[in-house]
Amino acid sequence: MLCTASATRATEPADASVAVPSSTLETIVVSGEQPGPGLWKVSKDDHVLWILGTLGPLPRKMSWVSKDIDATIAGSQQVILGPSANFSIKGGMLRGLFLLPSLIGARNNPGNEKLVDVVPAGLYARWSVLKRKYIGEDRGIEQRRPIFAAQELYVEAIRQSALSLDDSIGKAIRKSARRSKVEVVEPRIELRIESPGSAVKQFKKTALDDLDCFAKTMSRLETDIEAMKLRANAWALGDIEALQSMPYTDQMQACADAMLKASVVEQQGLGDLRKRLADTWLEAVGKALRGNRSTFAVLPLRHLLSDDGLLARLRALGYQVEAPE
């Protein structure tokens, strides 16, 4: 989930919810072999960077097959994946900002409070309806901090909607690169929390400013499940125009902010993680564009469609950018 803490947000409509026509209430999610979208072309002189925009969730039963992309990877000198961060403390290492609290045992509310104690009544009522629908009577989740309760609910709702959050595209890209013996570059920040004892104690007793994350997750699940299916179908079929016509508010941005703005996280020097991730990816891409005739890269689709994403930053740096036809 670390790419959700990267340098941009999904394009937002004037109304944060997406109005889904009644005719889409029984959306069929595609299955079988699908080509996916075309590639963005970033170039300078005769050096080219090809970018595949990824999307999540995607159809669970989809097999992604693209001979054109396999050929592009085979003709490239490097494959550059999206930026990520590794967090380590004594006793373990995790890849992802949202997994850090599980490493230090801090997913539950401080002071043994329950969700009903920390979430406004109206919002808790909405949570209860969605929890009953997607999770049932699991009471353990009522001990979770809002951000982690919302995350568990979201994952279960996706699972029950014939969609998947698995990185199937990333796995296919790595497999294609191995087959063609092309180097895979993973722009990554290594972060170690030194002497974590006091930080762990502080995090366990500190409330997070995560109600915005919780509320946006509820809104997403209430209004956007069918639109998620439509976007997943559009990605699988390579329909960029349809994807552009269905903007949404990515609740993961609010959830990442809740983590990054926590005082204990800022004290560990992680408050600017989003900027550092973006800069790390741009540095890897800049080096590749200088040294390679052809490079293949993957990025979350929001970076390619938004006005403040990493593609916009490449354009601002003077690179020529062409969208897929």
Task: Give tens-digit pLDDT for 79-126.
Answer: 999 998 776 665 554 444 444 555 445 788 888 899 999 999 999 999
Q: Which amino acid is at 140?
A: G
Tell me the pLDDT of the chain averaged across its residues: 82
Contact yes or no for 322/238 (Cβ under 8 A): no
Dump pLDDT digits (tens) for 134-176.
999 888 899 999 999 999 999 999 999 989 998 888 999 999 9
Tell me the percentage of the chain whose pLDDT exceeds 70.
Answer: 76
Helix (H, G, I), strand (E, B) or coil at 245: coil
- Distance, in Å, from the CA atom of 225 to the CA atom of 240, rounded to the nearest integer, reads 19
pLDDT grade, residue 223 (50/70/90)? very high
Q: Using only C-alpha atoms, what is the Rg of the chain?
A: 20
SS (H, E, C) 69-118: HHHHHHCCCEEECCCEEEEEECCEEEECHHHHHHHCCCCECHHHCCHHHH
Tokens of 280: 């790390």
Q: Which residues contact 275 (CB under 8 A, 6 or more apart)?
A: 7
SS3 156: helix
Burial class (CB in 10 A: 0-12, 13-18, 19+), 43: middle
Predicted confidence (pLDDT) at residue 127 exceeds the cutoff of 50: yes
Model pLDDT, residue 90? 55
The count of other CB atoms within 10 Å of the CB of residue 210 is 24
pLDDT exceeds cutoff 90 at 204 = no
C-alpha distances out from residue 101 to 24, 134, 269, Å: 38, 24, 16
> 3-class DSSP state for residue 21?
coil
> Using 50, 70 and 90 to split pLDDT, how confident is the model at 24?
very low
When pLDDT is cut at 50, 70 and 90, the band that residue 8 belongs to is very low
